[in-house]
Structure 1
Amino acid sequence: MYVTEKTGTLPRVAGNPRLTRAARRRLLLMVMPGAVLAVLVAAIAVANPNFLRAGSIWTVLDSAVPILILATGAMLVILCGGIDLSVAALASLASVLVALWIPLLGGWAVPAVVLLCALAGLLQGAIHVVAQIPSFLVTLGGMAVWAGLALVISGAATIGVSGTTLDWAFTRVGDARIPSAVLIAAALVVVVAVVLQFTPLRRWLVAIGSSESAALMAGVPVAQTKMAVLAVSGACAGFAGVMLVGRTFSGAPSLADSLLLPVVAAIVVGGTAITGGFGGIGRTVIGVLIITVLRVGLSVAGVDSSYEQIFYGVLVIGAVALTIDRSKLPFVK
């Protein structure tokens, strides 16, 4: 039951204004990403009708794969209230290691690199949990460490890859000529979605992101969960590096560095709150599609690619302003 009071000519709802703001915010997060994606697709289709052809759509999806893989892992960290700024640098390091190890290990280089990157993420998680250092600072330092290691190991040079070891990462499948990378990324998204749906992990992440102290009192394994999601984020970064090598036939110490801002933009534009506690893999997929379609739209509009970072930065600021849960931040510093 609602009680209204007259304030001038407009009624005001009496009660808890925070609940009202929270309800409006959740509705916005649910509706906004899909609406933005639909508008972008419609606008580009009007400017270039060829955009809606099957070949063009598969090309767009194929170009979204590296961002989607990185965003899948990073989203889990953000959902529990943290952030992983090291994913792009770790993916670049992974590309260098894959390029160096394929001549020695063949196909085994792929799981070896993914496992190594998972351990790197786990190390960052352990430092975050044990030393009680904010994930922002830990992964910011990790970004510098992994980027430096990539430069040292590669000799600051691009390393070419030959042979057929990574053919599976860039071939096309079936009569529809579907890029195999799209199917691989879709399989990863399905696995993460199933784990979130049928295990307690999603409840734990939302609880930690909403209120870590309350999650601790409820018996949620906070420390183990934080370490696990940072390890998964590291593994996704390693796998994204592998996919980039399969696409470019080379590894380089800065191969994925430009993907950090698009990844963060995709997560927050998709509706995952940067303060944690709200979001999911489906929203992240929509966010990745928005960022990818926006990149295509800028190209169709004749905007120079050097302006992309500006648009991503504006998107991040705007999306955070709309999605941030200010009830968790009584003071903004």
Structure 2
Amino acid sequence: MLLTIMPIVVLAALVAAISIANPNFLRPASVWTALDSAVPLMILASGAMLVILCGGIDLSIAALASMASVLVALWIPGLGGWAVPAVVVVCALAGALQGAIHVIAQVPSFLVTLGGLAVWSGIALVASGAATIGVQGTTLDWTFTRIGDLRIPSAVIIAAVLVTAFALVLQFTPARRWLIAIGSSEPAALLAGVPAVQAKVAVFTISGACAGFAGVMLVGRTFSGAPSLADSLLLPVVAAIVVGGTAITGGFGGIGRTVVGVLIITVLRVGLSVAGVDPSYEQIFYGVLVIAAVALTIDRSKLPFVK
């Protein structure tokens, strides 16, 4: 019960504190700007949460997003809008490869994705020539969408549709039960007939696809691709997932908790800015948050000995 309520209480307290310090924070324009800035983080966290829910971890998502930004910037001149699905498919295949290595070769997901982080970063560096690649034209110029009198950033609508799709799939299919069962006790899940191998490969594939799509969204914002464009997002993504209440050991969590976690990280970033904290200190706050959140959510019954 505490893990369910606490993230919401923390989010409400942060919003209240920032609103007092800066009354303009709750103006519609400021709210939409904050939500728009959270879109890449939301997309990355949605996919990575599935991997963590079944007891694994994907450390390669930021590197994959950076690689995706480079590929989409390189491919748009030739493929136009088709560069977007092409890049998402490539990143999904990269995720599937990591998932297959994890389940077939029985290599811990931490090591597989840590190696993947280096591989995808290296590919991005080679493909881009270690340089930023500009994007011309309006292929990724989504800007704003009007709904009645509302002028909403298109990226926010895209992220909302993606999160809603995740929520519906997890609610109305056996997927969530399977992932929780695998994360809680994989041997028991196998005995119960859960397709653990297929499910684990699937979540790594989805995580890779989300990383690719997040890279596309970053290009739509910066109109450029770079081999390190998304590298700073890995720690905030992990922080958002665990701060939202998803247990790092798996078996407990969901997309709703991840949304709350992403909003906490986004509001915290705004709060640090309002407080005049140098942006270079953000990583310190995220690191402390991860340690504190893991300490609160970790299932110690699965770890009789902490190594």
Please confirm whether the aligned pair reaches a TM-score higher than 0.5, indicating the same fold. Answer: yes
Aligned: 1:329 with 2:298: no
Q: Which amino acid aligns with 1:95?
A: S
1:142 aligns to 2:116 (yes or no):
yes
Q: Note the C-alpha offset of 1:176.
A: 1.7
| Structure 1 residue 171 corresponds to structure 2 residue 158 | no
Amino acid paired to 1:173: R
Deviation sequence 1:43-64 (CA, Å, 0-9, x none): 0000001111111111110010
The separation in 2 between residues aligned to 1:105 and 1:57, in whole angstroms, is 35
Cα deviation, residue 172, structure 1: 3.8
Partners of 2:112 and 2:222 in 1: how far apart? 30
Tell me whether 1:94 sits opposite 2:68 in the alignment: yes
Q: Distance in 2 between matches of 1:301 and 1:277?
A: 37
How is 1:195-274 mapped onto 2 (pairs within 5 angstroms)?
Answer: 195-274=169-248
Larger Rg: 1
Specify the SS of the correspondent of 1:327: coil
TM-superposed CA distance for 1:286, in Å, is 0.2
The whole-number CA distance in structure 1 between the counterparts of 2:75 and 2:97 is: 22
Aligned partners of 1:278 and 1:32: how far apart in 2?
A: 15
Are 1:128 and 2:109 an aligned pair?
A: no
Partner of 1:104: 78
The separation in 2 between residues aligned to 1:229 and 1:48, in whole angstroms, is 40
Return the letter of the residue paired with 2:250. G
SS at match of 1:156: coil
Aligned CA RMSD, in angstroms, stands at 0.6
Given candidates 38, 44, 54, the residue that maps to 1:80 is: 54
Residue matched to 2:13: 39
Q: TM-score, normalised by structure 1?
A: 0.91
Q: Which of 258, 262, 265 lines up with 1:291 in the alignment?
A: 265
Question: Separation in 2 of the partners of 1:140 and 1:72?
Answer: 19
Match of 1:51 in 2: 25
Aligned partners of 2:70, 2:144: CA distance in 1, in Å?
A: 22
SS of alignment partner, residue 176 of structure 2? helix
Matched with 1:320 is: 294
Deviation at 1:287, TM superposition (A): 0.1
Aligned to 1:161: 135
The alignment of Structure 1 onto Structure 2 pairs a total of residues equal to 306
- Tell me which amino acid in the other structure corresponds to 1:112: A
Structure 2's unaligned 5+ residue stretches are none
Instruction: Quote how far apart the aligned CAs of 1:173 are.
Output: 2.8
**TM-aligned CA deviation for residue 171 of structure 1:** 3.0
Cα separation, 1, equivalents of 2:97 and 2:32: 37
Post-superposition offset of 1:177: 1.2
- Aligned amino acid, residue 191 of structure 1: A
Is the aligned partner of 1:185 residue 2:159? yes
Deviations 1:111-170 (A, max 9, x none): 0000000000000000000000000100000000000000000000000001011122x3
User: In structure 1, the residue corresponding to 2:301 is in which secondary structure?
Assistant: helix
* Distance (Å, rounded) in 1 between the aligned partners of 2:37 and 2:229: 15
Letter of the aligned partner of 2:54 in structure 1?
A: C
* Whole-Å separation in 1 of the counterparts to 2:250 and 2:128: 36
Q: Return structure 1 stretches of 4+ with deviation > 4 angstroms.
A: none
What is aligned with 1:279? 253
